[in-house]
């Protein structure tokens, strides 16, 4: 009479209790202790980056081992390099003039929800930023990436404990059920949820009644404006879209060019490995990729272009990197206008930047708030597109590498906020700073009894400057240096009264 769901709930409760104990202990650690722990976690992640990448590809079938290796490297070494000097213990900022101190306190136990597309790198990244902020963390993996996520979590936990962290500082659900995840979401010990995954899971996190950092779907358009270096733009787009076979949500989903550079863009795409599908082939690919409306078929997430073409029943030239399908608009009649976490791109042609603006906004409605890219040499165009409803406006770089902070100055991250446009509580790349409670110690700088006298002070100042013959501007111009200083002293004296 074994009930798997009930056992998973009981196990989840135990994880929460143990995690809270660990959170209380690590809250007392010093900056030096925390840095020692994280350094060891980074070392272990680097030592196992190939092994974990291989596990992830074998278990999920998504992406490429070499790219998942880089993601593991980015989630560990690159994240550490970016946050190592970040103050997360005690007084982190002090304004002596305003007499305010900011003091960092950990949140406690964090629940990390892990997607199947970036399982090991997300587990590494969230473990590091959680402990940097002196929090404990418990993970709920995606069922299709359970084994590789569990292994990554175990490695991070062992590394942390070996460097002095408390037992159970990093844990993972071992009976992977929806019931277990729901139990953790409402567990009293859990202080915050970081949800990275599908829209349903992110919505559940925000509906749990707990504070949550959630990120939804992306649908990033890439606009190649008429002044762009087309060869460089295509190179960046191809490198981004083929990285791990398009599994990162900041990767390009559509290319927009202008009629004046269409021929050059199409020619360069073909040179660099893009295959332009016929209308019939595009329909076949759309029917393959999407099930139940715009929900993507998991069998073709993170797959090579040749695999997708073969699945749709047609052949592509050897060396084809991405499949490109022309679309006439946005919506259900143009399925490629939706997010495709694989090696397929929609293609649009517009007359000018104004049409590109309107089309970008329409496309972003299907992944609102996430990311968009623009390729241009015109700074004024960049400023115009900076008004679009996307949290990351990337210029002359790839969406994948730019959005995650690998090729830009953004903070390296695998949880990319979408702002209120996308139903997210943050619009930045999530860092340890988002996992802290910041207390403010503020000293009184104005006597309370003097507050409310501004109106009286204002009237007194006006009297000092009063004259029948001259207006204020003329009065000030008529004063010599000594008279001006005398007037200032009188005004200051009146304010002190």
Helix (H) or strand (E) holding 158: helix 146-162
Cβ-based neighbour number of residue 304 at 10 Å: 18
249 as an active site residue: the answer is yes
As a whole number of Å, the CA-based R_g of the chain is: 28
Q: Which of 157, 249, 257, 357 is catalytic?
A: 249
CA distance 51 to 40: 17
CA distance 191 to 416: 20
Long-range contacts of 406-411 (CB under 8 A, 24+ apart): 406/74, 406/78, 411/82, 411/83
Give the DSSP per-residue string, 67-104.
HHHHHHHIIIIIHHHHHTT---SEEEEEETTTTEEEEE
Is the Cα torsion angle 219, 223, 229, 234 positive or negative in sign? positive
Beta strands in 143-251 (DSSP E): 170-172, 190-196, 212-215, 220-224
The angle at the Cα of 152, spanning 343 to 196, to the nearest 5 degrees, equals 55
Q: Do the Cβ atoms of 82 and 62 come closer than 8 Å?
A: no
- Residue 430, Ramachandran bin (φ over 0: left; ψ between -120 and 50: alpha; else beta): beta
List Cα–Cα distances, 432 to 82, 85, 133, 374, in angstroms. 11, 11, 5, 29
Give the DSSP per-residue string, 258-325.
ETTTHHHHHHHHHHTTEEE--HHHHHHHHHHHEETTTEE-GGGTT--HHHHHHHHT----TT--EEEE
Q: Do the Cβ atoms of 346 and 339 come closer than 8 Å?
A: no
Residues with a catalytic annotation lie at 249
């Amino acid at each position: 009479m074994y009930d798997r769901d009930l056992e998973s709930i009981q196990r989840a409760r135990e994880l929460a209790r143990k995690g809270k104990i660990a959170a209380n202990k690590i809250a007392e650690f010093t900056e030096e202790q925390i840095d020692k722990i994280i350094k060891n976690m980074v070392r272990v992640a680097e030592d196992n980056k190939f092994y974990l990448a291989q596990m992830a590809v074998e278990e999920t079938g998504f992406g490429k081992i070499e790219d998942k290796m880089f993601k593991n490297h980015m989630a560990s070494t690159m994240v550490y390099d970016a946050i190592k000097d970040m103050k997360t213990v005690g007084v982190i900022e002090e304004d002596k003039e305003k007499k305010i101190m900011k003091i960092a306190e950990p949140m406690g136990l964090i629940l990390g929800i892990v997607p199947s597309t970036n399982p090991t790198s997300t587990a590494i990244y969230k473990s590091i930023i959680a402990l940097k902020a002196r929090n404990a963390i418990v993970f709920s993996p995606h069922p299709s990436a359970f084994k590789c996520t569990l292994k990554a979590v175990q490695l991070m936990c062992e590394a942390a404990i070996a460097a002095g962290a408390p037992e159970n500082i990093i844990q993972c659900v071992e009976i992977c059920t929806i019931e277990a995840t729901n139990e953790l979401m409402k567990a009293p010990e859990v202080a915050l949820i970081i949800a990275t995954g599908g829209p349903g899971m992110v919505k559940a996190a925000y509906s749990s009644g707990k504070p949550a950092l959630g990120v939804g779907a992306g649908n990033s358009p890439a606009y190649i404006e008429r002044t762009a270096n087309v060869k460089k733009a295509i190179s960046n787009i191809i490198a981004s879209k083929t990285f791990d076979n398009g599994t990162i949500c900041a990767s390009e989903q559509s290319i927009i060019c202008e009629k004046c550079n269409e021929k050059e863009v199409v020619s360069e795409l073909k040179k660099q490995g893009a295959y332009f599908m016929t209308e019939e082939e595009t329909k076949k690919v759309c029917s393959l990729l999407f099930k139940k409306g715009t929900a993507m078929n998991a069998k073709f997430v993170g797959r090579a272009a040749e695999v997708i073409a073969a699945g749709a029943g047609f052949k592509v030239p050897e060396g084809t990197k991405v499949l490109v399908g022309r679309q006439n608009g946005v919506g259900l009649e143009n399925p490629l206008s939706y997010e495709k976490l694989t090696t397929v791109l929609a293609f649009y042609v517009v007359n000018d930047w104004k049409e590109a603006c309107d089309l970008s906004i329409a496309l972003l409605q299907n992944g609102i708030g996430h990311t968009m890219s623009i390729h241009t040499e015109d700074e004024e165009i960049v400023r115009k597109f900076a008004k679009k409803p996307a949290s990351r406006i990337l210029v002359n770089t790839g969406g994948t590498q730019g959005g995650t902070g690998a090729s830009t100055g953004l903070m390296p991250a695998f949880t990319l906020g979408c702002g209120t446009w996308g139903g997210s509580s943050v619009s930045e790349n999530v860092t340890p700073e988002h996992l802290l409670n910041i207390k403010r110690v503020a000293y009184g700088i104005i006597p309370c009894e003097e507050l409310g006298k501004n109106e009286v002070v204002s009237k007194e100042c006006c009297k000092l400057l009063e004259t029948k013959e001259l207006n204020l501007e003329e009065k000030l111009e008529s004063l010599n240096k000594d008279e001006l200083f005398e007037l200032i002293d009188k005004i200051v004296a009146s304010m002190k009264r």
